[in-house]
Amino acid sequence: MAPPEVHHLFHHPIADHSFSADQNTLAVAKDTTVELYKRGPQGFQLKDELTGHDKTVTGVDIAPNSGKIVTCSQDRNAYVWEPSPTGWKPTLVLLRLNRAATCVRWSPSEMKFAAGSGARTIAICHFEEEDNWWVSKHLKKPIRSTITSVAWHPNSVLLAAASTDGHARVFSSFIKGIDPRPEPSAWGERLPFNTVCGEYMNSTAGWVHDVAFSPSGNALAFVAHDSSLTVVYPSAPEQPPKAIVSVSTQLLPFSGVIWSSESEIIAAGYDCQAYKLQGGESGWQLSGTVATKSRPGAASGHEESALNMFRQMDLKGKTKDDTKLDTVHQNTITKVRVYGPPGQGASKFSTSGVDGRIVIWGI
Amino acid sequence: MSVTNWRTINIDALDPDSPYNFDLSTLTPSVLPIASSEVQSTANQIRQLLRGGDGEGALRGALDTAPYGADERGKEIHLAAVIEILQSIRQSEMTPILNRIYGSEGGSEALDVLMKYICRGMAQHSSPGSAVSSPQATGFSQMGSRNLGGGEGSGQMSVLLSWHEKVVEVAGLGCIMRVMTDRRTV
């Protein structure tokens, strides 16, 4: 297995990151700006900076087809950035929130985006051609606390949201005139705006950090602060789900989760490394970490000369340098994202961390 | 005009959407209320097992019947029973017992409950005045070197600490995370 591709961009936490469809542009949320990196011969080079937010940027997403970038921030606003000959042209989107926006994602159709917030609201925004303006509609009920993360169903109508009230929910964000009528699925048949198609809690009711739909959209996975991962398989509209599988791990909690296929999930978080989970409706289990053995530089620690050893003992009172974690990320992983064209099964994924690193992993 | 101190008005109470006007218990896992008398009888059964020499069975039984829905008194009774069991199990037996519990069905959950009791037990004995230990502990106890030097409280603490270490070895840090996260308290 190829070693992971590590890009240490800066010494600052990365709240969110997103790759363009051709994987040559990388957008990284750093403090109050979004930095755009271009892939060069020596890794990623800083090319552009999107400034406009006046508080910490919490979410960034590049639409794969149109190339538009949406960003959201604790200043309660979102911007849509469009490429133009003179640079990136921002359009302010009034989310009409009274608390920070926490996360933002384009729908697969790229006609809408969803922004979660601390105001117990998810803003679903679409572009109104007549008024030349982004309009925000709110999903409110029955959210009781901050939304930590949102994830779209492949049909661009259903939206999953993770919340600090301990629930993972599935909503309909159907907007007339924008969305084609969705095919009936196990989540629901008639889906007017703000239909709650599912509301799930795990046994401890801890904060939910992240949610993800499986590639087919017929299962939902969420990770919570009780170090668990829960997978829900819905059976039919208005019916209790076919199966809810919960895995309690021995690890620190996961903060991000993606599906690499219908039977494999990648989760990463406070343990600073990514883990694979495998299973299906009958059960899931942790099957190990993703590629840490073949890490470049990992072997260099073994060959130590006697002189060096005594020098270290003299200088530091110890022979081993234990200021580094033996994981690739040196701090919590904040986001896990599929790397590569969307829709197909993921063979690679990228992680961003509090340590300012972006790492691209093969599965 | 009356003088109103606007700063002291609780604006959350005026907002119908505010969490202040919302029953937060609907967000927590539902627990069945249990009467203290019921907890007492379970605790007695568990002690019976313990007296019969089946420490592991008693521990497992106590962990599976954790009274989440009991009142403060009921929880105290169960806590005392669990601590009694923990103290009666020898150091060398801890790890094998924990491994067996962890490997069995629902074992991970049982160890989470055990960790809850360990934390609760530590919280209790570090606060002065909450004497769960029996009154005769004030006299010089002839049995066991455990009580020498530190009295009953510190003896219990050292037992709990070594259990804590062993539980983390078996169930990992995730177990501590679940204790801190879980809304169902013991």
For residue B173, list chain A residues with Cβ-Cβ distance below 8 A.
227, 250-252
The predicted-structure confidence for A93-116, as pLDDT tens digits, reads as follows: 999 999 999 999 999 999 999 999
Q: What does the pLDDT average to over A32-49?
A: 94
Report pLDDT digits (tens) over A261-292: 999 999 999 999 999 999 999 999 999 998 76
Name the architecture of domain B33-127+150-181. Alpha Horseshoe (1.25)
The alpha-carbon gap from A121 to the nearest alpha carbon of chain B, in Å, equals 11
What range defines the domain where residue A259 resides?
Answer: 5-362
Q: Please give the tally of structural domains in chain A.
A: 1
Helix ranges (DSSP H) in chain A? 306-316
Instruction: Copy the structure tokens of residue B178.
Output: 């679940």
Report pLDDT for A309.
79
DSSP string, B102-169: HHSTTHHHHHHHHHHHHHHHHHHHHSTT---S-GGGGSPP-S-GGGTTTHHHHHHHHHHHHHHHHHHH
Give the distance from residue A286's alpha carbon to the nearest chain B alpha carbon, in angstroms. 13
- Does residue A12 carry a pLDDT above 60? yes
> Residue A87 has which token pair?
């640079």
Taking CB atoms and an 8 Å limit, are B181 and A203 in contact across chains?
Answer: no
- Contact list, B112 vs chain A (CB under 8 Å): 248
Output Rg (C-alpha) for chain A, integer angstroms.
Answer: 21
pLDDT of residue B137: 44
Query: Does the N-terminal peptide bond of residue A237 adopt cis geometry, omega within 30 degrees of 0?
Result: no
Q: How far apart are CA A170 and CA B47, in angstroms?
A: 47
Q: What is the mean pLDDT of chain A?
A: 91
How does pLDDT run along chain B (186 residues), one tens digit per residue? 567 888 888 888 887 777 777 777 777 788 888 899 999 999 999 999 999 989 999 999 999 999 998 999 999 999 999 999 999 999 999 999 999 999 998 899 999 999 999 999 998 865 554 444 444 444 444 444 444 444 566 788 899 999 999 999 999 999 999 999 998 888
Burial class of residue A127 (count of CB atoms within 10 Å of its CB; 0-12, 13-18, 19+): middle
Q: Residue A324's pLDDT band (boundaries 50, 70, 90)? A: confident
Contacts of B182 in chain A (CB under 8 A): 203-206, 226
Residues A38, A44: contact at Cβ < 8 Å?
yes
* Residue B108 · residue B102 · CB < 8 Å: yes
Residue A189: CATH number of its domain: 2.130.10.10
What are the tokens at A110? 């790229």
- Reported as a pLDDT band with limits 50, 70 and 90, residue A167 is very high
CB contact under 8 A, A248 and B17: no
A321 pLDDT exceeds 90?
no
Q: What is the pLDDT of residue A351?
A: 96
A250–B22 C-beta distance less than 8 A: no
Q: Give the mutation candidate from A138, A227, A244, A255 for the B interface (greatest B CB count, under 10 A).
A: A227
Please give the interface size between A and B, counted as residue pairs whose CB atoms are below 8 Å apart.
67
ipTM of the complex: 0.83
Distance from CA of A224 to the nearest CA of B (A): 9
The arithmetic mean of pLDDT across residues A190-216, rounded, is: 92
Q: What average pLDDT score do residues A164-190 get? A: 92
Nearest-by-Cβ selection for A225 from B17, B173, B181: B181
Q: Determine the distance in angstroms separating the CA of A255 from the nearest CA of chain B, rounded to an integer.
A: 13
**Range with lowest mean pLDDT among A42-56, A177-191, B120-134:** B120-134
- Token pair of B180, please? 């801190």
pLDDT of residue A292: 60
pLDDT tens digits, A64-79: 999 999 999 999 999 9
**pLDDT for B125:** 60
pLDDT band at A2 (very low <50, low <70, confident <90, very high): confident
Please tell me the predicted confidence (pLDDT) of residue A138.
96
A303: confidence class by pLDDT, cuts 50, 70, 90: low
**Chain B, nearest residue to A226 by Cα:** B178
Best mutation target among B178, B182, B185, B186 (most A Cβ atoms within 10 Å) is B178
Mean pLDDT of A25-36: 95
Which residue does chain B place closest to A167, by CA atoms?
A: B27
Residues A242-251: pLDDT tens digits? 999 999 999 9
How many angstroms separate the CA atoms of A199 and A238, rounded?
Answer: 11
CB contacts of B169 in chain A (<8 Å) are none
Residue B38 token pair? 């019921």
Q: What is the DSSP string of A5-37?
A: EEEE--SS----EEE-TTS-EEEEEETTEEEEE
Predicted pLDDT of residue A113: 97
Report chain A residues touching chain B, CB-CB < 8 A. Answer: 120, 140, 144-145, 165-167, 201, 203-207, 224-228, 248-253
Q: What is the 3-state secondary structure (H, E, C) of A251-292?
A: CCCEEEEEEEECCEEEEEECCCCEEEEEEECCEEEEEEECCC
Q: What is the pLDDT at residue A1?
A: 63
Question: What is the structure's pLDDT at A249?
Answer: 93
